[in-house]
Structure 1
Amino acid sequence: MSQSEPTPDAPRPPPLYSPARVRELLDRHGLKPTKSLGQNFLIDGNILRAIAEAGGAAPGVPVLEVGPGLGVLTGEVAARGARVTALEKDERLRPVLAETLAGLDVTVVWGDALDFDYAALEPGTHVIANLPYYITGVLLSRFMNAPAIASATVLVQKEVGQRLTARPGEDNYGFLSALAALHGSVRHVRDVPKGAFLPAPDVTSAVMRLDFDRQRALPAPELLRFIEAALHHRRKTLRNNLRLAGHAGDAIDAALARTELRPDVRAEDVPLAALEALARELGVVR
């Protein structure tokens, strides 16, 4: 990955808060949004300010952004005094970001966010980002497992936001819900309509804030694999899912009895603490 250093003395261009300004910028650089990279540029000033505020952008705060695009959210965060590191894959945007981020304390790291070493971040880093929708789940998992990241305030598909906040027994509960609960807490900040983007995406979005409890030990990989298998077919019985994962029926029945779970309980209805207890009973974790 390569880096671009900040250029603190260059004049600041006006913010990109209108479709006409964004189209003019793209046309001038001969660019069009790339669907395969999930490029839907957020241009609503009120929402951009709300994301920066909810994410904790403030003087001296280290912030990581994934997919700065045209640098609109980046500029809003950096203008509040945050020290921003932005990961961008699309090399075509080099001249655009040189223009839109001029005069701000932003370091652009050029390369794939999936190859970035999140363990090397400064402790207390806050993620503030409009995540590429096609790799949202993978990136959230990387953030959760990076001890230096204190929180992630991210724009995601509304459906993903509902999964993040769902509890056992609710329609949207699944492995992502359990993963978020294992690492900390989640709150819904606000929904974002399609018209706030250029081009407009096919789905409604939501701003979510995840706060990671770094006083907890990271969950063991064996536990995560167990919970993922248990919730893989969440409407099936937990017993059937564990059989599909390779556990013996007799052992499952005995473990269910010891944890006071019904033999026919559905995976989506089981509290996270009960799944952890079941993993211990089955010898998956100690």
Structure 2
Amino acid sequence: MPDDLTTPESASAPLYSPARVRELLTQHGLKPTKSLGQNFLIDGNILRAIAEAGLSGGPAQGTPVLEVGPGLGVLTREMATRGAQVTALEKDQKLRPVLAETLAGLDVNVVWGDALEFDYSSLPPGTRVIANLPYYITGVLLSRFMRAPAIVSATVLVQKEVGQRLASRPGEDNYGFLTALASLYGTVKHVRDVPKGAFFPAPDVTSSVIRLDFDRSRPPPPPELLKFVEAALAHRRKTLRNNLRMIGQDAEAIDTALAAGGLRPDVRAEDVPLDALRELAERLGVLG
């Protein structure tokens, strides 16, 4: 790599190359902000794999895409040049001049704001989320994507352990509420793992590309069921019976409902299939 980052070789390098990334940061006096989870992609193969996984299953031309945290615009450009109608949601105002440069000439709508405050109901129907998510708010964002009727899929870069949790099944170590939530709304597919060296700066953890597809043809799970499942899975080392007692369920009613479902009194919620948890909620009168 040349020392002079303004050389023609650097300036003409792909946007995701380490030299080009460093040049952009230096040019605009920026440093990656750790508190915002800024780790920029510098691997073209991974970049293309994310775009292809996120846009597969339909024509890319005109597909509405939401990207959370575009950073330097690397993934944004990849999707826009494939014909997607990209809305990029970015919190860091210091990136304004960078994105103005890297997205020049592209039909991209950059929205400046916090992903935790964005109105996801404002998105057009059929929107796909494709993003390198800030890892510190991954779970919160995924749950909001699931609950937004306009969003049909989310192809995202997450910590590997989060990807394993999303793709796990009842009885496996990683199973938890986020897993159950994903199953209630649709399906999860592991696309590929991503090494630390695919980012600048390199994160402390290995990452994974995960695609979640949401089945909008079926009614969304009722809020009462979501609260019940969350409470059942709240404390992994406690029994399902004890977790339900903590939210005010009657002990005798729980014992009767467990027995009716063929479940042991000491069973843990993470070992119970989701359909069985739903039936238990019905027996306890949670769903009316």
TM-score (norm 1): 0.94
CA distance in structure 1 between the partners assigned to 2:248 and 2:39 by the alignment: 42
Kindly report which structure 2 residues correspond to 1:227-246, keeping only aligned pairs within 5 A, or say none.
Answer: 227-246=229-248
Q: Which residue of 2 aligns with 1:32?
A: 31
Quick one: distance in 2 between partners of 1:120 and 1:15? 33
Structure-2 separation of matches of 1:211 and 1:148: 12
Write the distance in 1 (CA, Å) between the matches of 2:266 and 2:66: 45
Contact 1:17/1:43, CA 8 A, preserved across alignment = yes
1:215-254 paired onto structure 2 within 5 Å: 215-254=217-256
Shift of 1:258: 1.6
In the aligned structure 2, how far is the partner of 1:216 from the partner of 1:180? 14
- Contact kept in structure 1, 2:54 and 2:155, CA below 8 Å: yes
1:164 aligns with 2:187: no
| Aligned-partner SS, 2:55 | coil
Instruction: Note the alpha carbon deviations across 1:167-192, whole angstroms, 9 max, x for none.
Output: 00001000011000000000000000
Residue aligning to 2:97:
95
The number of residue pairs the alignment matches comes to 275
Structure 1 residues without counterparts, runs of 5 or longer: 1-11
User: Equivalent residue of 1:114, what SS?
Assistant: coil
Give the TM-score normalised by structure 2.
Answer: 0.93
* 1:220 positional shift: 1.2
Q: Give per-residue Cα distances to partners, 1:30-76, cap 9 Å, x unaligned.
A: 00000000000111000000000000171111100000000001011
Residue 127 of structure 1 is matched in structure 2 by 129
User: Which residue of structure 2 lines up, in the alignment, with residue 8 of structure 1?
Assistant: none
Residue 54 of structure 2 is aligned to residue 55 of structure 1 = yes
User: Does structure 2 conserve the Cα–Cα contact (< 8 Å) formed by 1:230 and 1:242?
Assistant: yes
Change (3 A) 1:83 1:13: farther
Q: Deviations over 1:115-154 (max 9, x none)?
A: 1111111100110000000110110011000111010000
Q: Contact 1:235–1:268 (CA<8 Å) still a contact in 2?
A: no
User: RMSD value over aligned CA atoms?
Assistant: 1.3
Contact 1:15 1:72 in 2 (8 A): no
Counterpart amino acid of 1:217? Answer: P
Q: 1:82 aligns with which of 84, 107, 131?
A: 84
Distance in 2, matches of 1:169 and 1:124, equals 34
Flag the structure with more relative contact order, 1 or 2, with Cα contacts below 8 A and sequence separation at least 6. 1
Aligned to 1:44: 43
| 2:119 corresponds to which of 117, 120, 125 | 117
Distance (whole Å) between structure 2 residues aligned to residue 14 and residue 283 of structure 1: 62
The answer to whether 1:19 aligns with 2:18 is yes
For the residue of structure 1 that corresponds to 2:238, the secondary structure is coil
Runs of 5+ unmatched residues, structure 2: 1-10
2:13/2:20 contact within 8 Å kept = no
How big is the shift at 1:236? 2.1
Identify the residue that residue 211 of structure 1 maps to in structure 2.
213
Distance 1:13 1:36 in 2: 31
Deviation at residue 104 of structure 1 after TM alignment = 1.1
What amino acid is the match of 1:47? I
Deviates more, 1:205-214 or 1:229-238: 229-238
Cα deviation for residue 14 of structure 1 reads 5.3
Counterparts in 2 of 1:79 and 1:240: CA distance versus 1, 3 Å: same
State whether structure 2 residue 285 is matched by structure 1 residue 283: yes
What is the distance in 1 between the residues matched to 2:271 and 2:238? Answer: 10
Partner Cα separation in structure 2 for residue 279 and residue 105 of structure 1: 48
Give me the whole-angstrom Cα distance separating, in 1, the residues matched to 2:13 and 2:103. 11
**CA–CA separation in structure 1 for the residues paired with 2:16 and 2:128:** 24
SS where residue 113 of structure 1 aligns?
coil
CA distance in 2, matches of 1:266, 1:143: 28
Q: Distance in 2 between matches of 1:140 and 1:217?
A: 19
Q: In structure 2, what is the equivalent of residue 150 of structure 1?
A: 152
